[in-house]
Structure formats: C-alpha cells, structure tokens
Structure 1
C-alpha cells in the first residue's frame, strides 16, 4: 500500500478508536456540568431564535428531568461569539435537549481534532510513524478527552485552529511545488536573482482563513494564532523564493506575497467570523440588536447599517466584560495561572458528588464512603514529556535551524503566552486545550528523532524500544486516571491515590 494511503488509513483507525472511547457513557453525568449551564442552554435558544435568551433560575434541574420549556423571552448577555453554540445546538437538534445531545458534537470535533493533529504532524515530519504517535498520544490525553465529552466551546476552537494551521502548512508545500514547477517549465536552475512568478491563487490559504475565522468565532483569543501564523507563512514564502534564487526578496515579498496573504487570511477570517453572527443579525430580539435604533445619533449608527452598528456595540460590551473591573476582581477556587498549565499545577474540578455511603449508588458495602468526580487533568506523563519536547523544539528550530519545529512552537506559544497579559482575571487550565495539539506534535517529532532513521539498525531498535515503553506508560497513566475523567465511582482512598499533588485537590 502506498505510504499516502497507509497514512490516511492510520488516521481513520486512530480517529475511530478515539471516537468510540469518547462516546462511552457520554450522557453521564446526566446534568449540566460546569459551564454547560451556559452553553447548552445558549445553544438551544440560538437554535430556535437565533440569539441567546434568559432561562428560569431552576432550569438546570428541570431540563435533566425533561422539562425543557424553561426559556424566557428576554435576551441574555453573552461573552463569546456564536460558532461553538451553533455547533452544540446542531447536536441538540439531532439528539434532543439532553446530556447526550449537548455533548455529541464535542465528541465529533474532539475526534476531528485528533485527525487534524495527525495530518499536521505527518506533513511536518513526512513520517506516518510520527503522525501515529501524535494521534495515539492525543487520544489518551486526559484534557483532550474530557473536553471532547462536554458541551463547552474550547474543543471547537482547538479543532478549527489546528485545521487552519494544517491548511496553511499544506499551502506552504503547494507554493514550493508550484515554484519548482515554474523553474522546471522554464528550464531554469534557479530564479537568477528575479523574484519569480506571482502565486496569488492559494486555495489552501483561503481555507485556512475560513478556519481561522471559525476558531475566532468560537473564542476570540485565536486571533493571536492568526497573527503569528500569518507572519510565519510570509516568512515561508520569502524563504522559498530566496532558496529558489531570488535576490533580496524581503522587501518585494512584503508586497507581492504579503499583501495577497493578508487578504486571503485576515479579510477572509473576518467574513467567516461575521457569518457566524448571521442568526443574530437576522433576528430582532438579540442582546443589543436594537442598539442602533435606540441610539440613532451616535457615530456608529450614523455611518453604518443599523444591524452592523448594533453588532459593533455588542462587541464593545463583550470586550469591556473581558477587560473590565468586574472580571479583574473576580475570584474562583479553580483559577490557574498560565505559568502552571504545561506542568499541571492546577487542574479543574468539573463536578463531584461526595458522601456516597457504603452500599448505595454502587459504593461497596462495609467499607469507606465513595465519591464520583469529573476532572480536567491532562495525562501527567504526556504533559510533562510534552513540556520538555516544547523546550527541545525551540532549540531544534532556533539552534539547529530545523524549520519543521517552527509550527508546533509558534502554535503553542501563540495560544499560551498572550494569557500572561490577563492574569488579573481568573484563568483556567482547560484553556490549554488549544496548546496541547501543538505540544503533542512537538513531542511526537522528538520521539521520531529518538527512534531514528529507517536504516538505523540497532540504534533504531533501541530508540523504538524507548519510545514504545514511553507510549505504553502514557496509555497506562491515562487508564489510571480514567475514573476521574468519566465521573467514575471511587472510594475516598482511591481518589486520594490519584491526587498526586496538593494543588490538584
């Protein structure tokens, strides 16, 4: 079987396994967990009315009993754009307003996240084995697993983001192939100092712009990744032309490649982002939807269509929420600063039922009390290895000029470092779901270097043994923490045996 077909087959097999384990007991716990209390209900109201509405105070308990008619008629102020809620609503439309329904699309996108990561890793490394390592490791990551089984927004954001980056890397390779084809067709050894052909039609870059827009339309902070990868993509183009023989390509590259790249990424992403707001725009009752009509003398209302002016006003309110005094003075028991995310300083407890007495709810009789918990905790052996791999990837890229590592480094840092600007507000570990696909890719590529080349002989056998043992330990580590990922029943002593550090409690 050709390697390309084998690669696609492998992506399919790993994705299927990931899908099945994420689907297991998806409806448990049968309640609105953590921020599902916002997004599941918001999704249902967007599905039916195009915008978020307020719900009765006791709606959560009634919803799980099947009484879903708890929605009011007034709009609800929300702080994230609609894309993720539109997708959650799609699952609810198919399976109903229940735990399985509002989590079902997270399973689909959590599986697509693994597939996109594998495709990205394979294109960067040119290795089906490295892609397999990336897919297997992400499949058994505790954070990716739990976020793929909840009706929250972040797994949608991460999937669109990784897919956008994968398309941009695919565009890089297509551009280089077209440049080589130009030289071959012209019978040239190199460009001879000229800048080379105009390569403006770039469908993979357009697709990347659409996907970046979808990611930003789920959560705004993906805009940092768009900016970072936009610069990196321009550097790829200029570097390719220099390698092909262009003389001093930097300045002309800013205009001849930079401007088309900007148009195909940024305005396309903006249009993709705005498309997610169409249900709100065509409604009449959404939050701030009538702002322009109520404020006709403001500059926004005078110079823009009323719907657009109202959308700008709504965005201004959302931004003020994210940066204002209310959020900056808020506290939360599970708040976790970004400096500790990569080493699992403070995971997030999503749900817990304490005090289950022996002989009830499956708790063994005659022993200690039991507990059911659900925690977002990355698989420790994976995350600690991935943190080390990220540091190694920076050295490989900067020190050894191995440009393949630029992608996981830029992706991880773009989705991590900006959070240090917002440490005055509560931040949470699960935001790192947008980081782990890149750190896992870096880890898989480093493991590939440990294994070595196909003709490596005894060195390759030793490397494969080391890597195989590590992957096996990661899988066992994931299995050990399985009960706290899946709302499993544990005795108190069993739970404590999984709380390795005081900050995890």
Structure 2
C-alpha cells in the first residue's frame, strides 16, 4: 500500500505482514520444510485426535447409552449374520466378558447393518471381553475424520494453516470426542458423508479440466458444440457414490447428503459449462451431463447399500427374512419376478420407515432440532456415583459422566460462522461458502421436518464437520494475508490466537465430563452453563 505523505513528497510504503510472517517465511524456506508442514500439520492434529479418542477408551466397562443396541447387534451379526435377541440381564453379562448369551431368534432393528458391521471390527479381531475393543473401530473412525477434514479444508481454502486449524478444532471439540468414544452409529455416518464430500471436491476441479480438454479437442476438429460434451471419466463421482452409499447403509439420513451433493454436482457442471462459453450451458448440464452424473453416482450408492444387507440375504434367520414366503404376502403381477428375499427386504424397509416417521416416545435427554445450533440439550450418556471414597476424585462422593456437551466456545462460534457464510454466499457467490452450506443443510435442515420425533443433540455430529469448516473459513478471513497492512495482520493473528487458546482451555475444562473421569459433584456442576445441560 502506498500513502502520499504530503504534496510533492515521495510516497512511503506502509509496513505489511508481521514478525510471525517473517519468521515463518524463513522457517519454510526449503522445499523439504514446506513438504513437512504440508503433511506434518494434518498428521499432528490427527495424532492429537487419536490421543483424545483412544486414551482410557475402555472406561467404563459397561454398555453406554445406545451401545446396548449397536454393540450387541454387532456381536450377533458376526455370529449369525443377522441381529439376534438377548435375554434379560444381557448387558451385565456382556460387560463381564460373557457375550455369548444371545439366541438365534431374530431381533427387529430399524437401522441398516453397515454401521454395526464396522463396530464389530474390533471385536472380530480381539474379542468382546473389553469395552476398548467394542469402541476401538469407532474411535478410529473419529480420528480418521479429523485427517479427512484437514484435506477438505486444504482443497477449500488453499491454505494448510487454515486446514490444520479446522482439524485442530475438530480434534478437541467435545461432541466429536464423545461420539468417537462410544460405539454408536453416528460417527460412521459422519465419516462416510465427509469422505463423499471430499470426493465431490476432488471431482470439482478434475471434471472442469476434463471438460475443457474435450471442448478443445472438439473445437480443434472444427465442431461448434452448443451443449458441450459428456464427460464419463469421473472416478471421484464414483468414489462419492461408494461413500454416500456406505453412509446410507449406516443410517438412512445419509440419503440427504447423497441428494444434496448430487444436485450440487449438476450445478457445478452447469457453472463449468458457462465459464467455458457454451451457449446452452444449463440445458447441457441438466440433459446431457446430468443423467451421466446420476448414473455414476446413484446406482453405485444403491449397490453399496444393498451389499450391506449381504448377511441378512445369505442367511435364513433374519427378521422378516421369509415374509414373502408366507401365503398372501408375495407380489403378484408385474413384480412377481422379484426374488422373495428382495420382496421380504422391501417389506422390512417399509416397516422400518413407518417406525422412523412415527417414533415419538419421550426421553429425558431428547433435544428439539431447533435448539441444536445452541446445544440447548446435550445428551447424558453415562452416569455413575460412589459415596465411599473409592471413586478416585479425592473426596468421599465422586460422580462420573459421559455428556455430549459440545465445546461451547467452538460450537457457538461455528453456528455464527455458518450464518455469516449464508450472507457471504448471497452477496459474493463464493463457491467455498456455497459447498460448505450444502453440507450444513444436508445434515440439519431435514430434521426440521420431524420436530415431533424423539431425536438427540448428538445427531449433529453428522454435519459438525461443515460448521467447523464454516468457522475455519471465517478464521481465514480474520487472519488475512501476509501482504495485509501490519496493523491488520497483527490484529488478525492475535484475535485467532486468543480464540484458539480459549477454545483449548475450555476443552481441557470439559474433558472430564467427556471421558467419564471421576470428579466431585461441585466440579461437575460448574460445567452446566445452560439450564438444559443439567
């Protein structure tokens, strides 16, 4: 920046950057150091996430919250190929290391099998004697998600620093830590959706490059393409289909992510054709490339989803497995050619859908989706108390909890950041803001259609990566660039540094309630910042 000091005087250049920028520039002065930072930063925050997710993971040695369903279902899937029933008192037997008390009778479950198969990985390798192993694969999924988030952040922001900040926030955030340390389905849903998002971003640049190559070849040949060519070679779309199919095979809410990012792919194709100067860019994207994108994405997702039911299809004992074999149930007419096993599976899906749209049994920790952005009612997943001095907190009475309270500093800031991105997208049409908001919308908005259902705050883990990316985007704006005026750059660095420091201290303060550490009742009470947290 050049400033005129006085009439006729020589211009003076206002100082730019900061001492931190000068130091960092010298530190990154060699290709080896830059490569070390490019990969070392993401790996470092991933290792931090691993420590916070795996440390003392086997505590408590008890089935926590909905682990009573998913862990036991996973164990019977490994044994029978389908979810089976358990007798009264099975939770205590399971926790004592006696998991083989189930029957061969089928159990009626309303979620697809893949998430339970994934939970069963640790038990398949090391047995079910320890809670560590029935939670280990989910903890690994939550750790991997931190690395994937840094990769998506780098694609979005073209900045390893901002990407690493996003990963760091995900690593230390309470909802993410808790959901990685309990063997529920939602972390797997989040991971597969996040992988699909990453693949969509990789396709975005790759597809436009291929489009321009095809257009160049056509124009060199003397053709005048009005609609533009069709691009079939899009491996990242196929990969996204696999990831979103896996997400749906964990929970049906993965369908919203498939639909949202499928539409996004078509819109991206349209914008790419417009930038390429095609006169019929919109109709070309909708009528030519659109069906191809659909064929590369949706059937792949369907095959992955159907494959998750292999255990149910290849065994005879699953719930409703022989429904179509009973008199009067099998289809007649046009659909009579469909195998009875698939007809029975379809009936299973109809019954499960009826359950999902109608479930409204009251629960003390249910949370209305309207309150999710402010975390008004986080889920208490575990509570234990001792009064004989054996609890380990230094007093006679000790309480231990696992509460899915998000880090309030990070969560509330991320909510505000997402709202700000709505403004930025409306005003500047930033593609980064737009694609982040697609993820937020896919994970949150559909739940507003089911306000009467029994749902929980921890469902937000499915879209948490996107609100954290929104926060990282705003952090990037506050940081500015090394070429900014010195006062602005120093102010930005200080603001972000203070925010990250406070967020870290708050995570350290809440960590005992996230991992079930014994604390005094008085210390536990200090964490209830809102009435709904009690």
TM class, shorter-chain normalised? over 0.9
2-side partners of 1:85 and 1:237: how far apart? 36
Q: Spell out the pairing of 1:321-400 with structure 2 (5 A cutoff).
A: 321-324=355-358, 327-328=359-360, 330-354=361-385, 356-357=386-387, 359-365=389-395, 369-400=397-428
1:260-299 CA-to-partner distances (Å, cap 9, x unmatched) read 1111111111111001111111011000111111146532
1:306-352 CA-to-partner distances (Å, cap 9, x unmatched) read 1111110111111111123xx23x10000101111111100000011
2-side partners of 1:18 and 1:424: how far apart? 35
2:352 to 286, 293, 318: 318
CA apart distance, 1:72:
0.9
Contact map agreement 1:292 1:307 (CA 8 A) in 2: yes
Q: Spell out the pairing of 1:103-142 with structure 2 (5 A cutoff).
A: 103-142=135-174
2:184 to 120, 144, 152: 152
1:409-457 CA-to-partner distances (Å, cap 9, x unmatched) read 1111111111111111211000000111000001001100111123224
Whichever of the two has the greater Rg, that structure is: 2
Contact map agreement 1:193 1:245 (CA 8 A) in 2: no
Aligned to 2:518: 489
Q: Spell out the pairing of 1:212-227 with structure 2 (5 A cutoff).
A: 212-227=244-259
Q: 1:54 is paired with a residue of what secondary structure?
A: coil
Aligned to 2:527: 498
Aligned to 1:423: 451
CA apart distance, 1:302:
2.6
Q: 2:78 is paired with a residue of what secondary structure?
A: helix
In structure 2, the gaps of 5 or more residues are 1-30
2:61 is aligned with 1:27: no
Q: 1:377 is paired with a residue of what secondary structure?
A: coil
1-side partners of 2:519 and 2:206: how far apart? 52
Question: Residues 192 and 406 of structure 1: is their aligned pair in 2 closer, same or farther, counting only changes over 3 Å?
Answer: farther
1:473 to 502, 507, 530: 502
Q: 1:72 is paired with a residue of what secondary structure?
A: coil
2-side partners of 1:283 and 1:182: how far apart? 48
2-side partners of 1:401 and 1:4: how far apart? 32
Q: 2:104 is paired with a residue of what secondary structure?
A: strand
1:195 to 227, 236, 239: 227
Q: Spell out the pairing of 1:50-449 with structure 2 (5 A cutoff).
A: 50-97=81-128, 98-182=130-214, 194-295=226-327, 298-299=330-331, 302-324=336-358, 327-328=359-360, 330-354=361-385, 356-357=386-387, 359-365=389-395, 369-449=397-477
2-side partners of 1:413 and 1:221: how far apart? 12
2-side partners of 1:336 and 1:86: how far apart? 28
Q: 1:299 is paired with a residue of what secondary structure?
A: coil
1-side partners of 2:318 and 2:327: how far apart? 16
In structure 1, the gaps of 5 or more residues are none
Q: 1:373 is paired with a residue of what secondary structure?
A: strand
Of residues 207-216 and 420-429 in structure 1, the stretch that sits farther from structure 2 once superposed is 420-429
Of residues 374-383 and 397-406 in structure 1, the stretch that sits farther from structure 2 once superposed is 397-406
Of residues 299-308 and 29-38 in structure 1, the stretch that sits farther from structure 2 once superposed is 299-308
How many residue pairs match? The answer is: 498
CA apart distance, 1:5:
6.4
Contact map agreement 2:330 2:343 (CA 8 A) in 1: no
2-side partners of 1:132 and 1:185: how far apart? 40
Question: Residues 295 and 405 of structure 1: is their aligned pair in 2 closer, same or farther, counting only changes over 3 Å?
Answer: farther
Question: Residues 102 and 457 of structure 1: is their aligned pair in 2 closer, same or farther, counting only changes over 3 Å?
Answer: same
Contact map agreement 1:117 1:134 (CA 8 A) in 2: yes
